[in-house]
Structure 1
């Protein structure tokens, strides 16, 4: 589902860009680890990715804020310091 078609409330562009970066990271890491059932990324790793990617210029506090907003809006949910991608319903 494209973010423009998403029924969840809109987010600032820089946060949707952070979501795109993290989603790519989650997809790439899950391809490498075929035993993993749920698409996810460790929260500390997510902050590291957001602070080191060439696509964004975020400080750790900005990365934390982006993650918090993505959690609040339902793009991710957190289990034991691991961010998991919320999959849209198939309706």
Structure 2
């Protein structure tokens, strides 16, 4: 469900589900920082292989692109990192 207090633009539920999957199954702290991250290729593999959501490769790529475009994730040297909004 989209949170109206969240400053990020709303996304379809299935893309938010993909984001939740990435946050709970594949993200680790990057280089000793407190910012959760995952290599983009690993994120793609997780989304294509999870039983929680059925995605074709094109759908997984689209979901990652939309999450990046809408600021849910950002990319640094091939690592996808979680953007933590200020509340």
Smaller-chain TM-score bracket: 0.7 to 0.9
Q: Deviations over 1:7-27 (max 9, x none)?
A: 211101100000000111245
Q: 2:32 aligns to what?
A: 36
Which secondary structure does the structure 1 equivalent of 2:75 belong to?
A: strand
Q: TM-score, structure 1 length as denominator?
A: 0.82
Could you tell me how far apart the structure 1 residues matched to 2:2 and 2:79 are? 22
Q: Deviations over 1:33-70 (max 9, x none)?
A: 8x631210000000000011111111111111000000
- The total of aligned residue pairs comes to 85
Could you tell me how far apart the structure 2 residues matched to 1:36 and 1:55 are? 29
Q: TM-score, structure 2 length as denominator?
A: 0.85
4+ long deviations beyond 6 Å = none
Higher strand share: 2
Residues 3/40 of structure 1: CA separation in 2 closer, same or farther (3 Å cut): farther
Q: 1:7 aligns to what?
A: 7
Unaligned runs of at least 5 residues, structure 2: none
Question: What is the Cα-based RMSD across aligned positions, in Å?
Answer: 2.0
